[in-house]
Chains A and B, each alone.
Chain A
Amino acid sequence: MSAPHALRVEPTGVPPAPSDGGAGKRPHVTIRGLSKRFDTTVIYDNFDLDIPRGELISVFGPNGCGKSTLINMIAGLIPVDQGQILFDGMLLSEIKFGYVFQNYREALFPWMRAFDNVSYPLKMMKVPPAERKRRTEKLVEHLGVKIDLSLYPYQMSGGQQQLVSIMRALVVEPEILFLDEPFSALDYEMTLFMREQLQKLFMESQTTMVLVSHDLEEAVYLADRVLLLSRHPARVADFTPVTSPRPRTAETLSEPDFVQTKAHCLEIFQREVRRR
Chain B
Amino acid sequence: MIAQKLEPLLPLVGVVVLLAIWTIATSANWVDPVLLPSPAAAFKALWQGMDGPLGHDFVKTVYRTAAATAIAAVIAIPLGILLGSSERLYRSLEFVIDFFRSTPASAMFPLFLVLFGVGDETKISVAAFGAILVILFNVAYGVMNARKTRLLAAKVMGASRLRVLFDVMLLESLPQTFVGLRNGVSLALVIIVVAEMFIGSQDGLGHSVFEAQQLFDMPRMYAAIFAAGALGYGLNLLFLLIERRFVHWSGK
- CA A77 – CA B149 in complex, angstroms? 10
- Check A107–B157 contact: CB distance below 8 A: no
* Min C-beta distance of A11 to chain B, whole Å: 22
> CA separation between A108 and B252, bound complex, in Å?
12
A27-80: which have CB < 8 Å to B?
Answer: 75-77
> Knowing A120-B157, A124-B159, A124-B163 touch, does A101 contact B149 (C-beta < 8 A)?
yes
Q: Complex formed: what's the CA distance from A66 to B23 in Å?
A: 72
B96 within 8 A of A: no
Please list 8 pairs of residues, one from A and one from B, whose beta carbons are closer than 8 Å in the complex, sorted by A's number. A76-B156, A77-B152, A77-B155, A106-B148, A107-B150, A109-B171, A110-B249, A111-B171
Chain B residues whose C-beta falls within 8 Å of the C-beta of A258 in the assembled complex: none
Residues of A within 8 A of B97 (CB): none
Q: How far is the CA of A111 from the CA of B148 in the complex (A)?
A: 16
B contact residues around A76 at 8 Å (CB):
156
Q: Does B35 contact A (CB under 8 A)?
A: no
Mark contacts of B154-173 with chain A using CB atoms, 8 A cut-off: 1 yes-contact digit, 0 otherwise.
Answer: 01111100010001100100
Contacts of B156 in A (CB 8 A): 75-77, 99
Contact residue among A99, A109, A154 (Cβ-Cβ distance under 8 Å from B168): A109
* In the assembled complex, A121 has its CB within 8 A of some CB on chain B: yes
Residue in chain A with minimal CB distance to B159: A124
Across-interface contacts of B249 in A (CB, < 8 A): 110-111, 152, 154
Q: Which residues of B contact A111 (CB under 8 A)?
A: 171, 174, 247-249
Interfacial residues, chain B to chain A (CB-CB below 8 A): 147-150, 152-153, 155-159, 163, 167-168, 171, 174, 247-249, 252
Which residues of A come within 8 Å of B, CB atoms? 75-77, 99, 101, 103, 106-111, 120-121, 124-125, 152, 154, 168
Instruction: Tell me which of B148, B149, B174, B248 has the highest count of chain A C-beta atoms within 10 A of its own C-beta.
Output: B149
Q: Give the secondary structure class of B's interface.
A: helix
Task: Give 20 new A-B contacts, CB below 8 A, not counting A107-B150, A124-B163, A152-B249.
Answer: A77-B152, A77-B155, A77-B156, A99-B156, A101-B149, A101-B152, A101-B153, A103-B149, A106-B147, A106-B148, A106-B150, A108-B153, A109-B167, A110-B249, A111-B174, A120-B157, A124-B158, A152-B248, A154-B249, A168-B157
Residue pair A107, B158 in contact (C-beta under 8 Å):
no
Residues of A close to B147: CB separation below 8 A: 106
Give min CB distance, B243 to chain A, whole Å: 13
Q: How far is the CB of A166 from chain B (nearest CB, A)?
A: 13
- Inter-chain CA distance A108–B157, complex, in Å, is 12
